[in-house]
Structure 1
Amino acid sequence: MPDPLRKLGGKAVASSEEWEQGRREEVLRLFEERVFGAGPVGRPRRIAFEVKPTEGWMGGSAVRKQVRIRSEGPGGENVVRLLLFVPVSAKERPVPAFLLINNRGSEHMDAAREKRSPFWPAEAIVARGFAAAVFDNADADPDHHDGFRDGVHGVFDPPGERPGHAWGTIAAWAWAASRAMDYLETDHHIDASKAAVVGHSRGGKTALWAGAADRRFALVVSNNSGCTGAAVSRGKGGETIRQINDRFPHWFCENYKAYNDNEYALPVDQHMLIGLIAPRHVYVASATEDLWADPESEFLGLTFASPVYRLYGMDGIAGLPMPTAEQPLHTNGMGYHLRAGGHDMTEYDWQRFMDYAERFLCD
């Protein structure tokens, strides 16, 4: 397992200053070059937010805001539709927010609230004093291999052949999460310094990369993210790098395919992705029946990332046993729980995320 606290040249990192002054950037670039790919643009020069607020939602306890995030580039325009329900208490004091990267379609984010889904339990989120925000990942980039012509790739990619480290679809979704954060920073009802980004499965991989690349997210939540998410690849059960690249060749950069059946040659592993989030908070959730994601390897991702957190004087989970189902483990740097059941994100998971945020993000 590669040591997050040892630079490529072999020099050990012994302090948070040394991590910040070289090693963190080194690890971030390795993930860009070998795994997720590097995007050609951060915040676009031409970006606009169109906001439509309406009151009286959720029995009068929330304001609904429908936001269109317009980004322009050489290839045209992209629009990401962001939906928020904000507690009315935010009129007196800005509230923290949970931003979901929705990878399950618009039926799980009904703006009219005629259909309610435990995958995004907006009412429960608002009831606990958080703003509930969500966007459909397909607005940023479709989840199929289209040759990177549609979505933000078509808007921002330079002409010519794509290099091996060009950004894949997951990086495009993470880019959209950052554009949502751009909006949240402008909303005086939101405390953007206490914003969490949440994702399930492929969305959980996206949340981790978004949180690693964009340090504005105060809490990063990865639910059942498995391979190339929270789960370490070396020795992993269930899905492997080859299997994920074969099934979803558009998710990662082309360079990542060099590590099919070759995980031990990869200069990083997923614990180092989690380490990039330090000293901000990270939460990983697993499910007992989700063997394809491999809960033990997801827990190991946190375990092996713990030395980075300890550089900042924060508690990791190294040395602590993996908890049994429905026994959450929360420290001042990391959270983890194992839910009984299969590959899903339920209101039980959301309640644990909010428990953690109330204790460590909102104190």
Structure 2
Amino acid sequence: MATRPALLSAAVVLTAAAAVFAIPSTALAAVEDDGADCPVAATSTINNSQLPDPFTRIDGSRITTRDDWRCRRAEIREMAERHVYGQKPAKPATVTGTVSTSNITVNVADQGRSASFSASVQLPTTGTAPYPAVVVVGGFGADTDTIRNSGAAVISYDPLQLGREGTARNNKQGAFYTLYGATSGTGILMAWAWGVSRIIDVVEQSGGNILRADALGVTGCSRYGKGAFAIGAFDQRIALTMPIESGSGGVPILRGIPGESGAQPLSSAYSEQPWLGDAFSSFTGNPNSLPVDTHELVGLVAPRGLFIMENPHIDWLAARSGSVAALGGAEVYKALGAGDNISYWSDVSDGTHCAVRGEWRTPLQQNIQKYLLKTGNAAGTFRISGSKAGNLSQWRTWQTPALGGGTSSPAPSSPAPSSPSPTPSTGACTATITPGTVWGDRYNTSVTVTGSTNWTVVIDITAPQKVSTTWSGTFTWSGGGNTMTVKPNGSGNTFGFTTMTNGNTSARPRVVSCG
């Protein structure tokens, strides 16, 4: 049983960890990894086509309190490093640098080796110093105008300084590999994440006259969206993580990609560039053997702000698998009492890769206000494209626990999911409703039909509630849009939908008939 290299003494880490759950769920940890002192047992490959249970420890026991999440999170983080990304070294022996109104410099040294890199700064168009800031990875796809006009600075980060593309796996190049060796098994996504952590170190040391270390976000698109996701997952000082169109090797569940038509194969994502760790090579043909998946990496960001943006118009980007990862990770948010802190949006009209989209402007502003400026309280939102809607119920056998104990933020005010409840049939079949993820303004519902393969299910929705998204069925509407008739569409005997509460948070769908 190994213990992660400690960033601080155990006493300090434990104190910080307790503080995470004693303050509002929008808060972030004071350290890069608050579970650095947690022992993590060895892991082995598995054989499970379903998503692993984020609430079950490596030893098979299940967590029961919110305080338990700290060391369970450490297990997930370590498994992701061992099998997917490669190890992220702790803060080096020496980190120095400068912060100005136009530039950040970083100098690192460890075990007789040293390296340097920098990032440019653009101050916001409004507000006063010290400013919150968003690290923009790679320089394209991010709506930097909206970021700056919302009151946050932009830190333009060239990740190729840390880990270059176009290099062989046994000869990786960049500042990270100058310190840790060209044959390091750590992929360049993690090298990029390590570099942003060192930028945060320098901002912390700068005195806070220009930039606020407690109000930093990260975003990036495409390969840089993969990087933004890793950066937010592996540094708990990031208050807001916003990956855009990250594709294979980013947000989408690894188990889902082989079955998603047109999605970039895992072998391609592994070989195109050394993004992922060397150890991932043994999983490209069989992700079902991984003891971890990306819904759990979404959970690593919890309870901090997370806004996932995806493009359903390009099959290569695996948006359906991305929606499943978001829905699965949202269960961790909900269990921690932070269900309003995650947003997902793939319902967009412009299919251009890495376009700046009008649909994302308002939620981007709201996320910056809530997590960086600390002036907003907008609830997270899920807007899943009907063309790329995943169904979490098809990917899990576990249920989300009601975590007790600890002193974390209050549990969501909206009703929690209940157990499946069969509805008496009025015909040749039975329709069983299972409520799923619940948020303040919407909830998911899954319906399973038994007794027939040529069924018709009629469901009533209580006005003013309205269904916003459907999947795995053929839907028609009547009764002013509050009665829907569902027939099979070849996807099996389970279908689902998302209902907007529109002010009525207590009503739930009712099966009228199944025949």
TM-score (norm 1): 0.79
Correspondence for 1:154: 177
Structure 2 distance, partners of 1:120, 1:286, is: 13
Correspondence for 2:157: 135
* 1:71 alignment partner, SS class: strand
Q: CA deviation at 1:149?
A: 4.4
The equivalent position to 1:241 in structure 2, one of 266, 270, 289, is 266
Q: Does 1:66 find its partner at 2:93?
A: no
Q: CA deviation at 1:195?
A: 1.1
Q: Does 1:292 find its partner at 2:316?
A: yes
The equivalent position to 2:199 in structure 1, one of 168, 172, 180, is 180
> Percent sequence identity over matched residues?
23
Q: CA deviation at 1:123?
A: 4.1
Correspondence for 1:320: none
Q: Is the 8 A contact 2:305 2:367 kept in 1?
A: no
TM-score (norm 2): 0.57
Query: Per the alignment, do residues 8 and 121 of structure 1 end up closer, same or farther by CA in structure 2, a change over 3 Å counting?
Result: closer
Which residues of structure 2 form unaligned runs of 5+?
A: 1-50, 376-515
C-alpha distance after superposition, 1:136-159 (max 9, x if no partner): 111112112243442134322259
Q: Does 1:144 find its partner at 2:166?
A: yes
Q: CA deviation at 1:89?
A: 5.7
Q: Does 1:87 find its partner at 2:110?
A: no
C-alpha distance after superposition, 1:41-65 (max 9, x if no partner): 3322232214454xxxxxxxxxxx1
Aligned residues between the structures:
314
Query: Per the alignment, do residues 133 and 2 of structure 1 end up closer, same or farther by CA in structure 2, a change over 3 Å counting?
Result: same
Q: CA deviation at 1:351?
A: 5.3
* 2:114 alignment partner, SS class: strand
Query: Per the alignment, do residues 260 and 88 of structure 1 end up closer, same or farther by CA in structure 2, a change over 3 Å counting?
Result: closer
Q: CA deviation at 1:360?
A: 5.1
Alignment of 1:278-357 (within 5 A): 278-315=302-339, 332-338=340-346, 339-340=348-349, 341-346=351-356, 348=358, 349=360, 352-357=363-368
Residue identity opposite 1:23 in structure 2: R
Which residues of structure 1 form unaligned runs of 5+?
A: 54-64, 109-118, 316-331
Query: Per the alignment, do residues 2 and 121 of structure 1 end up closer, same or farther by CA in structure 2, a change over 3 Å counting?
Result: closer
Give 1 or 2: higher helix fraction: 1
Correspondence for 1:269: 293
C-alpha distance after superposition, 1:164-190 (max 9, x if no partner): xx3111110111111121233223232
Query: Per the alignment, do residues 233 and 44 of structure 1 end up closer, same or farther by CA in structure 2, a change over 3 Å counting?
Result: same
> Which aligned segments of 4 or more residues in structure 1 are displaced greater than 6 angstroms?
none
Structure 2 distance, partners of 1:18, 1:234, is: 27
Q: Does 1:258 find its partner at 2:282?
A: yes
Correspondence for 2:137: 101
Correspondence for 1:57: none
* 1:283 alignment partner, SS class: strand
The equivalent position to 1:27 in structure 2, one of 49, 53, 76, is 76
RMSD: 2.3
* 1:292 alignment partner, SS class: helix
Structure 2 distance, partners of 1:209, 1:153, is: 15
